[in-house]
Amino acid sequence: MLSPLHKLHIRNPTSLVCSVKLSFYNLTTITPPAADDDASSLSFLILKLDPQALTHNLEFNSVYWTPDLVNKILKHLWNHGPKAIQFFNLLERHPTYTHSAASFDHAIDIAARLRNYKTVWALVARMRKRRVGPNPKTFAIITERYVSAGKPDKAVRVFLSMQEYGCQQDLNSFNTFLDVLCKSRRVEMAYNLFKVLKRRFRADTISYNIIANGFCLLKRTPRALEVLREMVESGLEPTLKTYNVILNGYFKAGQVKEGWQFFLEMKRRRRCEMDVVTYTTVVHGFGVAGEIQKARQVFDEMIGLGILPSVATYNAYIQVLCKKDNVENAILVFEEMLKKGYTPNATTYNVVIRGLCHVGKMDRAMEYLDKMKDDECDPNVQTYNVIIRYYCDEGEIDKSLKVFDRMGNGECLPNLDTYNVLISAMFGRKRSGDLMVAGKLLIEMVDRGFIPRKFTFNRILNGLLLTGNQDFAKEILTAQGRCVTTASGCFAASCCVSVKEIRYDQYRWI
């Protein structure tokens, strides 16, 4: 018997499209729609329409399209990249609607995540033609995606070529690019670029803070302190942000004693008033080190000084209680947070749900998922992935598929991790029919723009061939062929991006 996940595969396609068309028509309006609800409903319907039906509905139904609505739909379709790009391109032909710069940026981000660089640069060209960009944010998106795809050299060249696309470089764009490199752990590259260009862009404290934070992310606190000294030698005064970066670096590197001494020194010198970020860093640092009592003391000290905890402070404290103490104590802090009038965000709920899952309290975790929705806090893909992963670990595959089905019904589309966890679980259970389910999941993830690992393809293909499912194995091979085509296309596109090679002597290190 197939799970609810697979009902879509056996429905009458004609009746499905007809019902979707009717629903799409019923949602049309000549007044601005209610943003979140209509965006979610429209996204779900767009997912079900084929290109021809979608074109018809976009052209002839009177949805009041606005940039805000379009941006929300693109966010909903984030984990179905091909459909998101299809929707964006079709809507561009609409007789009365024009895409905004923000909508182009969303589409470029999605195309770059798919590593479809040919589409990325085509969208940039269309932005220029319509005179809505590109802007510094556009280039920040593109460079970040190149870096995450393992192409940092390409990202540097794109940054240096911004002016060729009518976008002026300034200190903000320079700092943004340094941050992109550092957060992707390309800190040495960022530091080299910083040394070459710091005079040209007149690097400020933010520039130095970014580099110092990068070294702290690598747990290289001594290098971060060297950057701090360079900052002072250049005539710049460290800010509270600077000190918070170093403080976080100590705790992140497990140097709790040094972090505590640095915190006390900050209090003693009083060069700048410590803020909620300072105290949150110390609370989290002690908690991760297992010193829960010390974390609570610092938490209480902060309140005693009149520094109100933020939601991020509560999130950090709840997280360490879940990991190092007791989930029930974490829930007590969660309830305390509510009583004081704080509104939990998705991270708060995710931390509590993960804590409950970790101790095997799956039913209570599901209750918090429902509570999350009742409190109008939308679950995100991480919320669902945590629950699915722990159900799979417990061998409750059917329950994990039910949660997955909720995602497919428009609540939150699954991502690459979701599919990988479920497919692996199918092989762990080894029940009759699980191999077919794994194959369908594999095809679905390819359709949605994700590229499975070669190992995953081989595992499923071998299983299908051994069980005599040659026809379905051919479908898997076809899907694999599409991935190879996409990957090679991405490679070719990345090699022919219209960015001139930078040959200045000072850039030879690139």
Dist CA 233 CA 240 (whole Å) = 18
- For 292, counting Cβ atoms within 10 Å of its Cβ (0-12 exposed, 13-18 middle, 19+ buried), the class is middle
Within 10 A of 338 (CB to CB), how many other CB atoms are there? 14
CA-based R_g, the chain, Å: 26
Query: Residue 45's pLDDT is what?
Result: 87
Query: Residue 99's pLDDT is what?
Result: 96
Within 10 A of 127 (CB to CB), how many other CB atoms are there? 22
- For 485, counting Cβ atoms within 10 Å of its Cβ (0-12 exposed, 13-18 middle, 19+ buried), the class is exposed
pTM (2 d.p.):
0.84
Query: Residue 486's pLDDT is what?
Result: 55
Instruction: Report the b/e string of 219-242 with b at 16+ CB within 10 A.
Output: ebbebbbebbebbeeeebebbeeb
Query: Residue 29's pLDDT is what?
Result: 44
Dist CA 135 CA 494 (whole Å) = 21
Query: Residue 501's pLDDT is what?
Result: 33
Taking alpha carbons only, the member of 307, 303, 351, 347 closest to residue 327 is: 351
Instruction: List Cα–Cα distances, 375 to 129, 322, 382, 411, in angstroms.
Output: 44, 22, 18, 15
Instruction: List Cα–Cα distances, 116 to 86, 109, 119, 477, in angstroms.
Output: 13, 10, 6, 21
Local structure of 15: helix, strand or coil: helix
Query: Residue 385's pLDDT is what?
Result: 97
Query: Residue 245's pLDDT is what?
Result: 97
Residues 6+ apart with CB under 8 A from 154: 146, 494, 497, 499
Query: Residue 408's pLDDT is what?
Result: 74
Q: pLDDT tens track of the chain, all 510 residues? A: 333 333 333 333 333 344 444 445 444 444 454 456 788 888 888 888 887 888 777 766 668 889 999 999 999 999 999 999 999 999 998 888 999 999 999 999 999 999 999 999 999 999 999 999 899 999 999 999 999 999 999 999 999 999 999 998 999 999 999 999 999 999 999 999 999 999 999 999 999 999 999 999 999 999 999 999 999 999 999 999 999 999 999 999 999 999 999 999 998 886 678 999 999 999 999 999 999 999 999 999 999 999 999 999 999 999 999 998 889 999 999 999 999 999 999 999 999 999 999 999 999 999 999 999 888 899 999 999 999 999 999 999 999 999 999 887 766 899 999 999 999 999 887 777 889 999 999 999 999 999 898 899 999 999 888 888 889 999 999 988 888 655 444 333 333 332 233 333 333 222
Dist CA 433 CA 374 (whole Å) = 36
